[in-house]
Chain A
Amino acid sequence: MTATVITGLAPILVYFWPAPPKGQKKGPINVALQTPVDQLQDGDAVKFDAPRNPNSAFIMADGGGDNAPGELAFGGFVVKNQGKVNVFAINCSHLGCSVALAKAAPGHPEASFDCPCHGSRFRLDGSVLHGPAAYPLSHLSWKQGPNPSEIEVEGIVLGF
């Protein structure tokens, strides 16, 4: 009886587990930047989106809260801060909204990535400046592409 139930149910449960679509594969994704990395001013950031054709996403290298290593992001920032270049996933570590760069201005003394949803703020090095986010922005693994305006970001072609 038990064996019958198990042999009957197991294939159904296995069937529910999603198979990756044909054409889905992980690997570096070539991204063209509006501002080449070597022309980025200190304290400046350039936003980029995951390519739509083929439909792709980036894979977070680290992260806490809503983000986690292996989670997907559909955009990111290349940011130059004190001479160091970092690439962050666009998602706030609180609940995943897209953050945006807000430059230093009157009433906003420090440049930061601000989240429009619940007001979290992150310093340009990714660390938390203001809650409710409790974890820093997630890094994306990347390397310089064949020319300065291109980078290769670790990601996945979704296959649909």
Chain B
Amino acid sequence: MAIPHPRDIQVAVVDWLDERYPFTKAVDEALYQRVPNFANAFYYCFGGMVFILIVFQLLTGVLLAMYYIPDATGNPAPAYNSVLFIQNDVYLGWLIRGVHFWSANLLIIMVLLHMARVYWTGSYRAPRELNWIVGVLMLLIVLFLSLTGYLLPWDTKAYFATEVTIKIAGSAPPAWLGAAIREVLQGGPVVGPPTLQRFFTLHVFVLPAVIVLLMYVHFRFIRAHGISEPL
């Protein structure tokens, strides 16, 4: 029996897959898109940069979560010590945490630049309003991710920044509603271990899942509408 050529094995595997689901067609449709000339300007790249930064955040976030301990009891708390451990002892921990930190900062900048580009090119106009709305939702989620992530190192800056932001959220009228919002965000009468637990859960489990879902919706909308023509 002749030894099959590797190419033939490849083709056989792909054919086998394609008979069960049109993978080749799906991949072709996803990848082979003509980019109009007007979209080659650098400012059409901001959205893509946001996407890459969010991917960075997901990857480095998973890596950080392998060492981070969301426990704020005691002084110094395990949460703070684990961040020091990541920064000083874990091999390349400083790098992974640095990428997470700086990507988070750049992310806000790129999101705002992307938003400004969409505004200046009028890309929010009919029939693309829904995608603008989805984008604004994602902006809010990115800001909420920044807020919840800021508390996690559990140092003085993190603690008092959160104290201030929760105080702002708790100033919503009427007074009983503000007090209730504050109580739920804090998970108790003061910013303490329950607050860290809640912010950690939002930062790691809830918000990333929601933003990935909305990104999928965002990109499907772009594919459905095509890149908007310049004004």
Contact = CB atoms under 8 A, between A and B. Distances in A.
Interface string B181-225: 001101111101110000000000000000000000000000000
Interface stretch (A13-21, A118-126, A133-141): A13-21
B189 A72 contact: yes
B188 A158 contact: yes
B75 interface: yes
Given A52-B75, A160-B73, A18 B192 contact: no
A50 to B, nearest CB: 10
Interface in B68-86: 73, 75
Given A57-B190, A160-B193, A18 B73 contact: no
A18 B75 CA distance: 23
A66 B75 CA distance: 27
B194 A18 contact: yes
A21 B188 contact: yes
Majority SS at the chain A contact face? loop
A20 B188 contact: yes
A139 to B, nearest CB: 19
A156 interface: yes
A74 B73 CA distance: 17
A66 B164 CA distance: 11
A17 B189 contact: no
A127 to B, nearest CB: 24
Contacts of A57: 189-190
Contacts of B184: 16-18
A96 B188 CA distance: 18
A160 B186 contact: no
Nearest to B175: A68
A156 B190 CA distance: 11
In this complex, which of A16, A21, A160 has the most chain B Cβ atoms within 10 angstroms of its Cβ? A160
A18 B190 contact: no
Given A52-B75, A158-B188, A160-B73, A18 B183 contact: yes
Interface string A67-89: 00000100000000000000000
A52 B192 CA distance: 13
A21 B72 CA distance: 14
Contacts of B75: 52
Q: 3 smallest A-B Cβ distances: which pairs?
A: A18-B187, A18-B188, A160-B193
Interface of A: 16-18, 20-21, 52, 57, 66, 72, 95-96, 156, 158, 160
8 contacts: A18-B186, A18-B188, A18-B194, A72-B190, A156-B189, A158-B188, A158-B189, A160-B194
Given A18-B194, A160-B192, A160-B193, 5 more contacts: A17-B183, A18-B187, A96-B167, A156-B189, A158-B190
